[in-house]
Structures are given as C-alpha cells and as structure tokens.
Amino acid sequence: MADFYAARSNIISPLQWTSLSPPLTNMGYKQNSDTNLNSIAVSNLKTVSRETLIKLWQKTYHTEPPKGISRRMLEHAAAYYIQSNNLGGLSQKIKLKLKRHSSSAPTKLPPNDISNGTLFVREWNGTVHHVEAVDGKFMWKENLYGSLSEVARLITGTRWSGPRFFGLRTSK
C-alpha cells in the first residue's frame, strides 16, 4: 500500500477517505486497474474515456450525471474535482460567503441608466402610451409598476420584454 501512495504522490496528493475502503467501492462501481481515478491529471482529461469522466462525476457529486451532458462539461467537472483535491478546495471564508449569498432572497436590480423623469412613449394598436420613470419604478396611467415588462404586459395583454417593447433593446 505504501508503494501505491508513493507512485501517485507525484501526481495528486492522497485523498482523505472517510471509510476504510477505497473510493467507489461503496457505490457499487468496480475500479479497473487501468482506470485509476486518483492518478488522472487535468492535462490528460481530453484523452480519458467518457466512462471514466462519468465515474469522476459520480465520485464528486454522488449522483449520476444529467442525461445528455456534454463531454466538455464532464471534463470541466473532473478538472474542478482534481484541482480542488490538489489545492484543498475553497477556503472556509469563500464557503461562508457562498452560503450567505445563496440563502438570501434574490434582489431586483434597478433599471440600467434610466434616470428619474425619463418618458417612454409607445403607440400600440392606435393608442399612444406614456410611461415615466420614477425612483426606479415606472408610472403608467397614474399607477406605479416595478418593471417596464409589467407595463408592457398590461398594454399588450401578452408577455413582452419591457425594454424591447419600449425600444431600449433591439431583437437579436
């Protein structure tokens, strides 16, 4: 066993196993001798088989990869796994920041570069509509709305991109 770690210590540092059995044996996978998941280098990922990349995914995320996942995505996930094992993963400070931001409610960004008093004029079905920007909201027919899209939906009766409807963005 000491020779095993000595042989791979130049490639990737040993993983800390949580049990006495090697990785993947608890999950019902056979580990081929020619496919040692712990000895793969990031630079060799392009030459590794898809089956091996899927095993790395399973080892990393403890689940099957999504159906139809591209090889490129599997390579990126494997590269992250290898690099995090080499470098120790994310710092505790970064993990806490990610956790704090992931649990916070999503915030609505203010409209880009739309200053108070900006007047949007749009003709729809023969009627001219005037919408004014007021403190990050939009006034139409003496009511305040949170977004131009909300106003466009009320005017047209269907879902529209508000900035596109009022001519701030063009179609692609």
The domain limits of the chain are 2-102, 119-165
pLDDT, tens digit (0-9, with 9 covering 90-100), for 33-48: 334 666 788 888 889 8
Q: Take residue 44 and report the two structure tokens written for it.
A: 């060799």
In the chain, beta strands by DSSP E: 119-124, 127-134, 137-140, 143-145
Using 50, 70 and 90 to split pLDDT, how confident is the model at 139? very high
Q: Which residues, in sequence order, are CB contacts of 64 under 8 Å at separation 6+?
A: 54, 57, 58
Which strands form 127-134's sheet, in the order they lie side by side?
119-124, 127-134, 137-140, 143-145
pTM over 0.75: no
pLDDT in tens, 50-81: 998 998 888 888 889 988 899 999 988 888 88
Alpha-carbon gap, residue 154 to 151, rounded angstroms: 5
